[in-house]
Amino acid sequence: MKKVGVAILGLGVVGGGTYKILTEHREMYRKCHQVDITVEAVLERDRAKAIALGVEEDKIAANIQEICSNPDVEIVIEVMGGVEPAKSFVLDCLRAGKSVVTSNKELFCKYSHELEVAAKKNHCGLFYEASCVGGVPVIRALLDNLQGNKITSMMGIINGTTNYILTKMATEGAEYGDVLKEAQKLGYAEANPSADVEGYDATYKLSILSSIAFHTKIPYTRIYREGITDISVTDIEYGKKFGYVLKLLAIGKNGDGGIEVRVHPSFIKASHPLASVNDSYNAVYLTGDSVEDVMLYGRGAGALPTGSAIVGDVIYCATHTNYRYSTFKNTEDASPSTKFVDNFESAYYIRLNATDRTGVLAKVSSIFAKCKISVARMLQERGPVGEDGATPVVFITHVTRENNVKKAVELINESEEVAKVAAVIRVVS
């Protein structure tokens, strides 16, 4: 029976969960996969934490050099998070001939081109299933099961923190700030939640997933990003009246005009499968030219769900010797031949706080017409019930261009007849 030793860099929530799975399921892996996987070393500054998990003291490494020089370690699991020292440690391991399994989406998104060069040069495996969507096996699906397709689009809820916040706002009517504080108390949101609520986390993940799906490098810097910090319960409730649910969506499309990639709050029809993905759950909705629509759903974070993805990669690495790398030229920037669509098409939800006077709607209609925007539906409250005594007017547009809406917002806000544009949210048609 093949024996494979692993090392774990970091025994935080995910590292601890990974250690638990590997040790508790060792006999199952021996029986089912004919491989004996043992944890031969860990790198953890808090020795007491490692010992409490059951790690033997002589297997707690003092530094990365001990991991790299350990002949019993074939696979290194990196679950430290952040860029440094994780990047340096991973490169050290690859250069020492160790295959690497990582859950670090920021590291892989920003520096996969460097990591892959080191992996190829030293004939190592580089695996990263756990970097995106926790325990949901979306990367393996794209690399293996769906590789016979041209993936034309992907749309996903790929950040559990924002999905939890938006779910609570929708079901309880609580405002963003209050729900964020609750999420922080429960451990769903960090003390500094900007990576999640400003959309950076989802942007890193979309960069990784869209690069795989569309077979070309999609740098995170080319992805349009907008977070949820300006979302109000008012807009969520108006959306319900139109039959919509609000989600932070990561969207990628590969069409004749080029590739569009964006992360932002979106209204989606309540009947769409993604609309029922609530709390901290994640899902990715894929469309291929042959398979048509596929949705992968599950826990997007957590010790054991993410550990499940990590261990899956460890077993795959331990039982395969023909390592595969990117299907595209993996460079820091996008290929010059890759065309990106910035002025993308969408329907829009636009809420105005309008002055209660004659001619307001005529003025707005004139601006919409000038900007090539047609209205599909409209809702107007009676009387001054909005901010500063203004009257809320809500429009759902037909599909139009992003730049058309930006221009219309600019013109409306300059008009004396309209108080202001209170909210603009894209609608998935």
- Distance between CA atoms of 214 and 198, rounded to whole angstroms? 25
CATH number at residue 262: 3.30.360.10
Q: Is residue 170 in some structural domain?
A: yes
What pLDDT score does 330 carry?
A: 96
C-alpha to C-alpha distances, 53 to 28, 43, 308, nearest whole angstrom: 20, 13, 18
CATH number at residue 75: 3.40.50.720
What pLDDT score does 382 carry?
A: 67
Report yes or no: 267 and 119 within 8 Å, Cβ to Cβ. Answer: no
Q: Is residue 336 in some structural domain?
A: no
Residue 322: partners with Cβ closer than 8 Å, 6 or more residues away: none
Residue 234 and residue 377 share a domain:
no
Q: Could you check whether the bond before residue 85 is cis, i.e. omega within 30 degrees of 0?
A: yes
* Active site annotation includes 205: yes
Residue 201 and residue 150 share a domain:
yes
Residue 7 and residue 70 share a domain:
yes
- Distance between CA atoms of 150 and 259, rounded to whole angstroms? 13
Residue 256 and residue 155 share a domain:
yes
What pLDDT score does 383 carry?
A: 56
Low-confidence spans in the chain with pLDDT less than 70: 382-389, 417, 419
Say how far residue 380 (Cα) sits from the centre of its chain: 35
Residue 116 and residue 11 share a domain:
yes
Residue 278 and residue 243 share a domain:
yes
What pLDDT score does 342 carry?
A: 93
Q: Is residue 317 in some structural domain?
A: no
- Distance between CA atoms of 54 and 98, rounded to whole angstroms? 24
Task: Encode burial over 128-143: b for 16+ CB neighbours within 10 A, e otherwise.
Answer: bbbbbbbbbbbbbbbe
Catalytic residue among 87, 110, 205, 253: 205
What pLDDT score does 357 carry?
A: 73
Residue 415 and residue 294 share a domain:
no
C-alpha to C-alpha distances, 272 to 75, 245, 321, 330, 345, nearest whole angstrom: 41, 9, 41, 34, 19
Count the alpha carbons within 13 Å of 344 in the hemisphere toward its beta carbon.
24
- Distance between CA atoms of 170 and 174, rounded to whole angstroms? 8
What pLDDT score does 361 carry?
A: 86
387: phi then psi, degrees, rounded to nearest 5: -70, 135
What pLDDT score does 189 carry?
A: 84
What pLDDT score does 188 carry?
A: 80
Amino acid at 314: V
What pLDDT score does 59 carry?
A: 96
What pLDDT score does 384 carry?
A: 52
Count the alpha carbons within 13 Å of 341 in the hemisphere toward its beta carbon.
18
What pLDDT score does 236 carry?
A: 97
Q: Is residue 34 in some structural domain?
A: yes
Instruction: Give 277-333 as a DSSP string.
Output: --TTEEEEEEEETTTEEEEEEEE-SSHHHHHHHHHHHHHHHHH--S----SS---SS
Q: 54 is in which domain, residue-wise?
A: 2-131
Q: Give the helix/strand (H/E) hosting 117.
A: helix 105-121
pTM, rounded to two decimals: 0.94
What pLDDT score does 381 carry?
A: 74
CATH number at residue 367: 3.30.70.260
Q: Is residue 383 left, alpha or beta, with left meaning phi > 0 and alpha meaning psi from -120 to 50?
A: left
Residue 184 and residue 79 share a domain:
no
Number of domains present in the structure of the chain: 3
Report yes or no: 423 and 382 within 8 Å, Cβ to Cβ. Answer: no
